[in-house]
Amino acid sequence: MSCFLEQERNMKEKVMVAMSGGVDSSVAAVLLRDQGYDICGATLKLFEGEDVLTSCNTRTCCSLEDVEDARRVCYKLGIEHFVFNFKETFNDEVIKKFARSYEEGSTPNPCIDCNRYIKFSKLIQRALLMEKDYIATGHYAQIEYDKGSGRYLLKKAVDESKDQSYVLYVLSQHDLSRTLLPLGKMYKTEARQIAEERNLINARKPDSQDICFVPDGDYAGFLENRMGIESAQGNFVDVDGKVIGRHQGIIHYTVGQRKGLGVALGKPAYVVSKDRDLNTVTLGSNEDLYKDRLTAGDLNMIAVEKITAPMNAMVKTRYSQKETEAVLHPVGDDRVLVELKSKQRAITPGQAVVFYDGDIVIGGGTII
């Protein structure tokens, strides 16, 4: 009887599933439909120049082929499929911010900004206007409501090898309250198996990897040719400030980079830092890349409202990085000083640092 009542409840709840055209979002739709939810699919049109993204071989999302794959999956499931034009917001909040960050010497993560401003908040707004109760995505993470704190919690996925909680730390309490993540308790192999069993067109489609609006990975070329950004040549300097060569413009380099420097020093050299004001790129050894502290701003806290006293946490400064122990020290209202118990390589301004308590996301911010 309880299962029947649960299904009856679900049948009254309407969910808009963000359909990227990939296997994960398609399986999310299958699972929710099987659970009795009233679902529809939605694919987002985010930028101009889609004609250069006609093949999933680029391993990005948002191509014309992705839209068609999403449409075919929705047709197979017998559900409505919508395409929403969010190009203006995507250009303002993601692409332009991406360009500004590179100009300022940072290395941004546009996928996180897309989650913050487009894939969740903007889509939730549209879903509510269409009288839907929730949105759903194919992200590997979990959302739970904690009665004790009265807060929604973001937690790691069961499949930690595919966990995407790092890129979702920007979600607000409102976003979390209106979002379903059906794959959070599932392994990627299970999702592929379900797609195969249901004969979904994208069952064997590779996961997207590259930034959707820079499919060839040439960020500097995109900034120069598409965004009209000019980056003047300047000096390479060593860690002591001595000039050791000339660089082609700071947008061509990121912290930790070794290849493509165009300077021969007789030993391996890495980009250690960039200084926009002096227009310099500092080169050093691999050992020079390791740091034991950072400052983060533009915080978004999830498990707690704010950090008011030193807090122990596990942190990640890159998506693929293993967590390390740290102490978080509040610095004003919107900054924290992160003291790492062990040095981490290539801590990069513009990237995200995310704080964990076990499998719970405490929050995170942007490295400055």
123/337 Cα distance (integer angstroms)? 33
349: left (phi over 0), alpha (psi -120 to 50) or beta: beta
62 catalytic residue (yes or no):
no
3 catalytic residue (yes or no):
no
347/358 Cα distance (integer angstroms)? 22
315/361 Cα distance (integer angstroms)? 10
Cβ-contact 291, 143 below 8 angstroms = no
If one counts every other C-beta atom within 10 angstroms of the C-beta of residue 305, the result is 11
Rounded to 5 degrees, φ, ψ at 13 are -100, 130
Q: Indicate which residue of 61, 62, 74, 212 is catalytic.
A: 212
68/10 Cα distance (integer angstroms)? 28
Q: What is the CA radius of gyration of the chain?
A: 22
Close Cβ partners of 199 (under 8 Å, ≥ 6 residues apart): 76
- Just list the catalytic residues: 114, 212
